[in-house]
């Protein structure tokens, strides 16, 4: 899109709004800033009610998203509001800052809004997140302040219109090569995995020391929800199915396909993969207008085989044209209809997964995964 390209070429948008890293490839369309992959991870952890993160190169942008970015004006305009009252002793994180340092600054800037002009800050805001957390722990029945923070977000942007010329209303991705947990039901192709690489991986699979309150990420995962087959009937003769995908604290859902027991969604969702990797959970629902949506089954995808295979062959993809590098085996402990091959196709690591839906009388779902290492950004 030419408008987005032109906006990215502005000098202030050529560096990350939060840490100054060059050539940011992510953006928060709700705040109107361009971000590096590490800062985008922290933004994603804030929740979509604060920061809506999209990829500049991987996602399709709507005209409304570009309109908002243009209206805000980019990094310099947004920072003129969010950093208007930043104390002289506060330093923005550098491009190589730690996860802790990066997250602390970004949360103070957008979640706590410490650096806004006082008249623009959220009402009844505690002086720190620690005070909020402590008060809620000491008195679980105390009402949370998050509701008023979210309610007042639009008014904050409305009040700052003049200073930003036209405003509305937000992974710290640390390149972690460690994958903890047991990689069960995995078969790695010995022809494609030299022992040297395997030996290197053993040392990398030791768990990282945990970082209190923080999430480190291994990479990105493209999830294409392809289709459903022979789904359960939840209405009179049919169903209106959609899929909710969850990975850690991240949730995304597909469109609703009306009156179809064999729906084709063919929708791509994007997730950050936390360390240690967690299963990708899929839930199928029947959309109802007058009552709660009915469950049509669920399934879980173990991501560890895909991540392990990818790490074992890291830097070797140019050697493969189209090659199988691993396999997730179908067992009684998982929902696989058949073994799921992990392949390198045109230097991309892909896995097609065919699952039986659980806790339902019938139905299957087909999903295609693509692993995107942090080094790809």
- Separation in Å, CA 242 to CA 264, 279, 290: 10, 20, 17
Tell me, yes or no, whether 348 lies in a domain: yes
Tell me, yes or no, whether 138 lies in a domain: no
The sign one gets for the Cα dihedral 108, 109, 114, 119 is negative
pLDDT higher at 252 or 213: 252
Residues 234 and 349 placed together within one structural domain of the fold = yes
- The answer to whether 327 and 339 are in contact (CB under 8 A) is yes
pLDDT tens-digit readout, 3-32: 888 899 999 999 999 999 999 999 999 899
Which of 117-126, 178-187, 193-202, 299-308 has the highest mean predicted lDDT (pLDDT)? 299-308
The sign one gets for the Cα dihedral 30, 21, 46, 299 is positive
The domain boundary residue, chosen from 111, 134, 167: 111
Tell me, yes or no, whether 170 lies in a domain: no
pLDDT tens-digit readout, 213-242: 455 778 889 999 999 999 999 988 899 999
pLDDT at position 131 is 37
pLDDT tens-digit readout, 279-288: 999 999 999 9
Range of the domain at 267: 217-373
Tell me, yes or no, whether 344 lies in a domain: yes
Residues 223 and 75 placed together within one structural domain of the fold = no
pLDDT higher at 81 or 323: 81
Instruction: Name the percent of the chain lying above pLDDT 90.
Output: 41
pLDDT tens-digit readout, 63-105: 888 888 888 888 998 999 899 899 999 999 999 999 889 999 9
Q: Identify the CATH number of the domain in which residue 94 sits.
A: 1.10.220.150
pLDDT at position 121 is 64
Tell me, yes or no, whether 116 lies in a domain: no
Residues 348 and 230 placed together within one structural domain of the fold = yes
Q: Identify the CATH number of the domain in which residue 247 sits.
A: 2.60.40.150
Tell me, yes or no, whether 67 lies in a domain: yes
Contacts of 49 (CB under 8 A, 6+ apart): 150, 153
Strands 364-373 and 250-253: unpaired
Tell me, yes or no, whether 276 lies in a domain: yes
Residues 224 and 367 placed together within one structural domain of the fold = yes
Tell me, yes or no, whether 188 lies in a domain: no
The sign one gets for the Cα dihedral 253, 249, 220, 170 is positive
The domain boundary residue, chosen from 93, 111, 129: 111
Domains of the chain: total? 2
pLDDT at 212 over 70: no
| pLDDT, average across residues 353-364 | 96
The domain boundary residue, chosen from 65, 90, 111: 111
Residues 103 and 225 placed together within one structural domain of the fold = no
Q: What's the pTM? A: 0.51
Residues 98 and 221 placed together within one structural domain of the fold = no
pLDDT at 141 over 50: no
- Separation in Å, CA 5 to CA 14, 24, 127: 11, 12, 39
Q: How far is CA 152 from the centre of its chain?
A: 25
pLDDT at position 314 is 67
What does the block give as tokens for 60?
């399709």
pLDDT at 109 over 90: yes
């Amino acid at each position: 899109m030419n408008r987005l390209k032109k906006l990215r070429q502005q000098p202030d948008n050529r560096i990350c709004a939060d840490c100054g890293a060059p050539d940011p490839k992510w953006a928060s369309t709700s705040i109107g800033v361009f971000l590096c992959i590490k800062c985008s991870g922290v933004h994603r952890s804030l929740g979509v009610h604060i920061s809506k993160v999209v990829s500049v190169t991987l996602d399709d942008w709507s005209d409304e998203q570009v309109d908002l970015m243009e209206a805000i004006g980019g990094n310099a305009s947004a920072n003129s509001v969010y950093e208007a009252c930043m104390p002289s002793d506060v330093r923005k994180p550098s491009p190589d800052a730690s996860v802790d340092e990066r997250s602390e600054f970004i949360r103070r800037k957008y979640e706590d809004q410490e650096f806004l002009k006082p008249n623009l800050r959220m009402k009844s805001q505690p002086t720190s997140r620690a005070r909020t957390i402590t008060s809620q722990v000491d008195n679980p029945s105390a009402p949370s302040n998050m509701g008023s923070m979210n309610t007042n977000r639009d008014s904050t942007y409305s009040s700052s219109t003049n200073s930003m010329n036209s405003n509305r209303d937000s992974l710290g991705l640390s390149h972690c090569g460690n994958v903890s947990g047991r990689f069960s039901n995995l078969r790695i192709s010995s022809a494609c995995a030299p022992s040297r690489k395997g030996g290197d991986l053993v040392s990398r699979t030791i768990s990282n020391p945990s970082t209190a309150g923080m999430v480190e990420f291994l990479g990105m995962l493209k999830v294409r929800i392809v289709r459903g087959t022979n789904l359960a009937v939840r209405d009179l003769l049919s169903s209106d199915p959609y899929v909710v995908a969850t990975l850690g604290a991240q949730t995304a859902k597909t469109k609703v396909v009306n009156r179809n027991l064999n729906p084709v969604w063919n929708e791509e969702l994007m997730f950050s993969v936390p360390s240690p990797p967690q299963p990708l959970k899929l839930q199928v629902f029947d959309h109802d207008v007058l009552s709660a949506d009915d469950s049509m089954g669920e399934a879980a995808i173990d991501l560890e085989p895909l991540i392990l295979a990818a790490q074992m062959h890291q830097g070797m993809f140019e050697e493969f044209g189209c090659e199988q590098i691993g396999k997730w085996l179908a067992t009684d402990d998982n929902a696989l209809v058949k073994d799921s091959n992990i392949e390198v196709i045109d230097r991309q690591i892909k896995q097609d997964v065919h699952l039986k839906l659980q806790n339902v009388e019938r139905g299957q779902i087909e999903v295609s995964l693509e692993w995107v290492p942090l080094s790809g950004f």
